[in-house]
Amino acid sequence: MFTGIVQGTASVGTVQRQDKFSSLDIQFPAGKVDGIKIGASVAINGTCLTVTRIAEDTLSFDVMMETLRATNLGGLQPGSVVNFERSARVGDEIGGHNVSGHVHCTATIAAVEQTENNRRLTFAVSDPAFMKYVLPKGYIGVDGCSLTVGEVRGSSFSVYLIPETLRVTVFGVKGVGDSVNIEIETQTQAIVDTTERVVAQYLERIKGAGLPQ
């Protein structure tokens, strides 16, 4: 489990690609992975990965076929910059929202609008089926960062980022055309799915009873 409060950015060192499988070596800032152990979970661009090897401030991760398909990790190259967050511990402050690290789909940055004190990013979601869970003022995980949805239009949505978010995360360097990982907020998904199911059952009952809908 993660909080959606990105702890910083790290740099991809090496990428070893095999058939439907990749291994990543990622260099973290000094001191950021102190005390970590093999088997620990770390969110990389919002994707929960397991530490397989430790060499000082460099951690290694294995990435399986489904993760490569569903996320932007398959496009990483040596030198790529990624968001990271170590897994939350009992008692940690939840400064964002509960994030599982299970990415639902990807999105592409469609537009970037810069103002004096913030930046507006518009994302085009790869799978429009998930847009029913993206609601104005709701939570969403983007590359592991807990953000508040601004506007929603069709298969796109926007967010507004303050300078601190731009400083700490990859959003300070990403631009139009870049890919991001999207994780839908679980409570929103549960509410929408439950409402749809209950309404469908109600309509089916009144249809069977011959009552007006």
Please check the confidence at residue 205 and state whether its pLDDT lies above 90.
no
What tens digit of pLDDT does each residue of 101-115 get?
A: 999 999 999 999 988
Please check the confidence at residue 56 and state whether its pLDDT lies above 70.
yes
Among residues 29, 48, 47, which one has the least CA distance to residue 39? 48
Please check the confidence at residue 95 and state whether its pLDDT lies above 70.
no
Q: What is the pLDDT of residue 129?
A: 95
What tens digit of pLDDT does each residue of 171-186 get?
A: 999 999 999 999 999 8
Q: Note the residue count of the chain.
A: 213
Parallel/antiparallel/unpaired status of strands 156-161 and 179-184: unpaired
Residue 101 zone, left/alpha/beta (φ > 0; ψ -120 to 50; rest): left
Look at the alpha carbons of 161, 165, 170, 172 in this order and tell me if their dihedral is positive or negative. positive
- Classify domain 105-192 at the CATH class level: mainly beta
Q: Give the tokens for residue 138.
A: 């709701």
Is residue 101 within 8 A of residue 86, CB to CB? The reply is no
Is residue 150 within 8 A of residue 135, CB to CB? The reply is no
Fold agreement between 8-86 and 105-192: yes
Please check the confidence at residue 212 and state whether its pLDDT lies above 90.
no
Confidence of residue 211 (pLDDT cuts 50, 70, 90): low
Q: What value does the mean pLDDT take over residues 188-212? A: 84
Q: What is the pLDDT of residue 93?
A: 66
Mapped onto helix, strand or coil, the DSSP state of residue 131 is helix
Domain ranges of the chain: 8-86, 105-192
Q: What predicted TM-score, i.e. pTM, was given to this entire model? A: 0.90
Looking at CATH, the fold of the domain delimited by 8-86 is given as Elongation Factor Tu (Ef-tu); domain 3 (2.40.30)
Look at the alpha carbons of 84, 88, 93, 95 in this order and tell me if their dihedral is positive or negative. positive
